C-alpha cells in the first residue's frame, strides 16, 4: 500500500496547525476546483486565523479506480474561534499524482459528518464536496 497519500494529508493538516497557508495552496492538484480559485491562499489564511486544529486521525486509505488516484478518510478535531467547542470533522479526501513531481496532491473531499468549516472561508481539506 502506498503511504504517500496519507503523508500528504498529514502534511496539509500540519500546515494548518503551524499556519503555512502557502503549503495548503501549493498542495492542491491542478485538477482541483480549489486550484482554479484565485482566493485559495486567502481562504487558507482565513481558516488558519479562525480555526484551531487539534488532532488528525487517519481512518482508511484506499487506491482509487483510476491510476494515480487515492482516497484518504480521516477525522480532525478543531475549534472555531477562541471560545468554540471542540468538534470533529470527518472527510474522505481524493488525491491524485502530480504529473510534474510524481507526488500526491489534494483534489477534493466529501464530508462524512455534519461538521464543516465553510463559514470561515474553507475547510480543513480545502473545498469539501457535499
Q: What pLDDT is stored for residue 29 in this prediction?
A: 92
Would you state the pLDDT for residue 2? 66
- 77-129 pLDDT per residue, tens: 999 988 889 999 999 999 999 999 999 999 999 999 877 665 444 444 444 44
> Predicted confidence band at 36 (pLDDT cuts at 50, 70, 90)?
low
Count CA atoms within 13 Å of residue 113 on its CB side: 12
Assess whether pLDDT exceeds 80 at residue 8.
Answer: yes
Per-residue b or e along 75-110, where b marks 16 or more CB atoms closer than 10 Å to that residue's CB: bbebebeeeeeebebbbbbbbbbeeeeeebbbbbbe
pLDDT for 106 equals: 94
Q: Please tell me the predicted confidence (pLDDT) of residue 125.
A: 45
Reduced to 3 states (helix: H, G, I; strand: E, B; else coil), residue 52 is strand
In angstroms, the Cα distances linking 2 to 20, 93, 102 are 25, 15, 13
Whether domain 4-129 has CATH 3.10.450.50: yes
Q: Are 90 and 80 in contact (CB under 8 A)?
A: no
When pLDDT is averaged across residues 5-18 and rounded to a whole number, the result is 96
Segment 8-25 mean pLDDT: 96
Domain ranges of the chain: 4-129
Between strands 104-111 and 128-129, the pairing is parallel
pLDDT greater than 80 at residue 17 = yes
Q: What is the mean pLDDT of the chain?
A: 86
Range of weakest confidence among 17-26, 31-40, 106-115: 31-40
**Spatial distance between the Cα atoms of 81 and 92, rounded to a whole number of angstroms:** 25
Amino acid at each position: 500500500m502506498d503511504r504517500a497519500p496519507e503523508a500528504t494529508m498529514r502534511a496539509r493538516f500540519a500546515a494548518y496547525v503551524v499556519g503555512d497557508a502557502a503549503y495548503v495552496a501549493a498542495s492542491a492538484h491542478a485538477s482541483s476546483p480549489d486550484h482554479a480559485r484565485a482566493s485559495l491562499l486567502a481562504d487558507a489564511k482565513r481558516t488558519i486565523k479562525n480555526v484551531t486544529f487539534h488532532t488528525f486521525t487517519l481512518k482508511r486509505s484506499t487506491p482509487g479506480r483510476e491510476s494515480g488516484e487515492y482516497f484518504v478518510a480521516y477525522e480532525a478535531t478543531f475549534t472555531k474561534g477562541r471560545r468554540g467547542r471542540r468538534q470533529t470533522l470527518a472527510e474522505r479526501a481524493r488525491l491524485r499524482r502530480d504529473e510534474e513531481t510524481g507526488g500526491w496532491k489534494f483534489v477534493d473531499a466529501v464530508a462524512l459528518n455534519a461538521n464543516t468549516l465553510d463559514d470561515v472561508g474553507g475547510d480543513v481539506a480545502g473545498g469539501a464536496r457535499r
